[in-house]
Amino acid sequence: MKTIKSMMDHMYWADGVILDALERSGTKNKELLKLVRHVAIAERVWLLRLNGKGSAKYSLWEEAEDPTALRTMFEENAKQYQLYIEGLDQSQLDEMINYANQSGVPFRTSVRDILLQVLLHGQYHRGQINRALRSESAEPAPVDYIKFARL
């Protein structure tokens, strides 16, 4: 449980660092902003599933133009994940969650695997976001876990 909590803290931090870099860049790149929004929405969708709620109303790939709105989404996600994690104990990590994906296909996955999906999915896309920032001659954001651990 300690490792997952630490990795979740890293996710909240890394989301903020990426948003800071995005704002500093002043980018208007619609594909880049769409990717950032995708990370925020995916975090939200998985949280809804963990809480036994449907997520069909969310589209994972929509355009976004307002970095401030994106920051608000990430901050709300962080608050909700913190509440969820605070109420979670080690024995619940192996509980199975029934949910449907965005296409309505049913799945059954453990809490542990869902949390790991959220963590790894975000890190994967933060790498893509950094690459896109670099291609626009903007400064990429250092979001490696070790950077966070050294704070």
**What are the extents of the domains in the chain?**
2-149
Segment 107-119, tens digit of pLDDT: 999 999 999 999 9
**126: confidence class by pLDDT, cuts 50, 70, 90:** very high
* Total Cβ atoms within 10 A of residue 23: 13
- Contact present, 8 and 115 (Cβ < 8 Å): yes
Residue 125 labeled ligand binder: yes
Residue 66 pLDDT class (50, 70, 90 cuts): confident
Q: What is the pLDDT of residues 86-105, one digit of tens each?
A: 999 999 999 999 999 999 99
Task: Compute how many other C-beta atoms are within 10 angstroms of the C-beta atom of residue 5.
Answer: 14
Q: Which CATH architecture describes the domain 2-149? A: Up-down Bundle (1.20)
The CA-based dihedral angle spanning residues 94, 98, 103, 104, taken in that order and rounded to the nearest 10 degrees = 170
Q: Is 132 helix (H, G, I), strand (E, B) or coil?
A: helix
The rounded distance, in Å, linking the Cα atoms of 112 and 3 is 11
| Residue 121 marked in a binding site | yes
List helix spans (H) across 51-66: none
38 annotated to bind ligand: yes
Can you tell me the distance from the alpha carbon of 124 to that of 143, in angstroms, rounded to the nearest whole number? 11
76, with CB counted inside 10 A (0-12, 13-18, 19+), is: middle
CB 94 within 8 A of CB 112: yes
Q: Of 128, 148, 125, 130, which Cα lies nearest the Cα of 140? A: 130
